[in-house]
Amino acid sequence: MGYLRDLLWQFACCSGLFASGKNPESGRKCLKAWMWQEKVIWIFSLVYIFRKFPVLFIIKMSSKRAAIIELYKQGQGVNNIARLLKMHKQSVIRAVSRFKELGTLEDRPRSGRPPDVRVQKAKKAIKAKLRRNPKRSMRMLAKEGEISNRTVRRLVNDELRKQSLKLQETTALTEEHKEERLKRCKRLLRLFTECRHREILFSDESYFLLQEGFSKQNTRIIAATREEANAYGRLVERSQFPKTLMVWGGICWNGKTPLVIFEPRENVNVKNYKEKPFHSRHFPREPTVIGPMALSSVLLQISFILAILHSLALCQNPENGAAALVSPGNHEPENGTTVTPDGSAKEVSEEDRKAFQDYLRDFKKTYSEENGEFGRRLAVFAQTRRRVAKMHSEGMKWAGITQFADMSTEERKQMLMSGDAVTKMEDSASPDVARMPVIESRGRTKRQTPPSSFDYRTYGWVTPVKHQGSCGSCWAFSTVELMETVYLKYWNNLNDLSEQDLVDCATGNLGCDGGNVESALYYISQNRTTHEVYYPYQGVKQTCNRAISKNVMATRYFRLTNESSIAYFNYHNGPVSFIFTVKSDFFDYVSGVYDASECSDTSATFEGWHYMVIVGFTPSYWIAKNSWGTGWGNFLAGN
C-alpha cells in the first residue's frame, strides 16, 4: 500500500508540473519516467503471477487441448495437468500422445476423398424437400435424387443432423374423454396415497388366432427345388375365418391370477363380465363397479386391450376387505346407460330420448335397435346436445343440432381431407398450376374499389347446395361450384356439372381422400368436363369413364394472396375457392357468424381440411357456400 501511495504521489507531482505551464519540458520527462517505471513494475508482476499460477493465462486459450500442451511443455505432469484443468487423466494422455505423433494441435486429416459437386447438390435438394414435407423415407429420397441409399443416410444423419422416425399411432381422445380419464387417474392416485395399493389389480385380455403363425422373413426352408421344400412343409394352410380364443389374466402385488379362457362367441356385457371371470372365478362377492367397463359388446374383434382394473378379491387388502372394479372403455350398455364411440358411458335422460326421436323424424333417419346402432347414435346425440348447450352458455349462439349430431368423430373425418393428403397435393402440384398469374393488392382507383358488402345470393347467382356424403371430395364440389356460379352470373345459364368426373379422372388427386382445386381446374382446362346427368355422383372413387362426351371447359383461373384481392376478385370477377382447417365445433354450425378462435392444424379439436366457396363478404365476415347439403348451416336455420 505504501508503494502504491508513492506511485500516485509521483504521478500527481508530474501532472502538476506539466499542467501549470511553468516548466512543461520537466513535467513531460517526469511523466515519461513515471510511465516507464509503472510498465516495468507491471511486467515483473505479470511474470511472477504467470510462474506462480500459469493456469490463469492458459484457460483463455482457444481450446483445452492447447492448454494441455502448454502445461506439458512447462514440465507439468499428467496428474497435475488433469487436476489444474479439471479433466480426466485419459483425456490428457490422449492429447499429449496426439501432439507427439502429429506435432500439431489439429485433428487428424479425414480419410477418403472430399464430397463432389453432385453430392453437394443432392444435399441442398434433400434439405429443400425435407423443409417442404418431412414425411419422406430414406428410400424415397434416394429414388427421387437418383443416388444411393447409403449416401442419403449419410447426408441426412451426418450432414443435416436428422434421423428417420417411424409413424406412431395414438388414440384420438375428445375433451370429455380426457376429463373422464383424469378423474380415474386421480382416483388411482388417491388409492396409492391412502396406502391401498394392495387393492389394485392390473389386467389385460386379448384374442388369439387358433392357427399356425410364422414370419415370412425369418422362417425359411433350404431345399433344391420348390417341390422338395413343399414336401418339408413349405405350404402352410390358413383358414379364411380362423377360430379365435379370448384369454384374460391379471397381476397384483402378491401374484398373478390364473388365466381365464372365455367360451367361443360368448356375448360379454357388464353383468356377464362381473361374473366371468371376476365373481365366479376369483371374488368372494360381487365387486362394486366404478365407472364404465372396458369391454366389447360382441367378441368378434381380433384383439383389444383392457386397461386398469381396481379390485379386491385376489389382491384383497387384508386390513379392510373392500372391493372395487374400475376400467375405461366400451361395453354393452346397462339400463339407462349408452356407450359413446370414444369409449365413455353416458347417462341418457328421457329428454335426450325424446329429442332424439324428433331428430330422427326431422332428418328422416332410422336405426336398428337389434345391432346396438340405435343406442350408439343416441349416446352421440346426447353428448352433442350437452356440447351445444355448453357453447350457448359461452355465447356461441351460432351452434345448434345439425344432421351430424349423431355422427362419430371418425365418420366426420371421412368428409374432410387429412393433413397428409393436403401436403401430398402441394408437393404433386402441376408445374403449369404453379405458374398461374397472381393478383396482388395494389392501389386502385375509386371506380374499381369494391363495396363494403356484397352477396351473390341477392342476384340469384348461387346454385343449389349439394351434399358430398361420406367422401372427402370437397375439392371437386368446390371446383364445380366455381364454374356453375360463373356460368350463371355471365350467361344466366344454370348448369349442373359433374363432380364424379373429377373424383374419378382428375390426375394428381386422391379421390375421396383429398384433392386440389388448382389441379382440378388444370385438368378441366386440358380435358374439359361434363354434366351431372351424364356422369352422376356416386360418393366413391371409381374407374374413369373416358367414353363420356365432355364439352365444358375452364380457360383462366387465378391464385389470390390476400383478403383485399379476394374481395376485389369476388366482386368484379367471380366466386373464390379456399381451403381451411376444420374444428370439431364447425359441424354444429347453424346460423350466424362462425368465429374459430384457433385455426392451427395442431389444435386438439382439429379434424381435417376442407374446401368451400366464397360467394360474398361484409366488413366483418365472409359468406361461404358449403357442400354438406341442407341439413347444416343457414339452410337448416331457414335462411
| Inter-residue contact 306 to 278 (CB < 8 Å) | no
CA distances from 63 to 68, 69, 95, 105, 440 (A): 9, 10, 11, 10, 54
Q: How far apart are CA 71 and CA 408, in angstroms?
A: 73
The active-site residue, picked from 279, 282, 310, 610, is 610
Residue that has been written with the C-alpha cell 357442400 in this structure: 627
Determine whether 512 is an active site residue: no
Determine whether 626 is an active site residue: yes
The active-site residue, picked from 330, 516, 570, 626, is 626
Q: How far apart are CA 501 and CA 431, in angstroms?
A: 22
The active-site residue, picked from 14, 471, 474, 505, is 474
CA distances from 46 to 21, 50, 53, 75, 189 (A): 36, 6, 10, 20, 65
Strands 438-439 and 559-560: parallel
Determine whether 474 is an active site residue: yes
Nearest to 417 by CA among 342, 480, 477: 477
Per-position DSSP letters for 122-188, written without gaps between them: HHHHHHHHHHH-----HHHHHHHHT--HHHHHHIIIIIS--------------HHHHHHHHHHHHHH
Q: Cβ neighbours of residue 605 under 8 Å, at least 6 residues apart?
A: 175, 583, 584, 585, 598
Say whether 100 sits in a helix, a strand or coil: helix
Grid cell for residue 339: 356407450
Identify the DSSP state of 274. I
Catalytic sites, residue numbers: 474, 610, 626
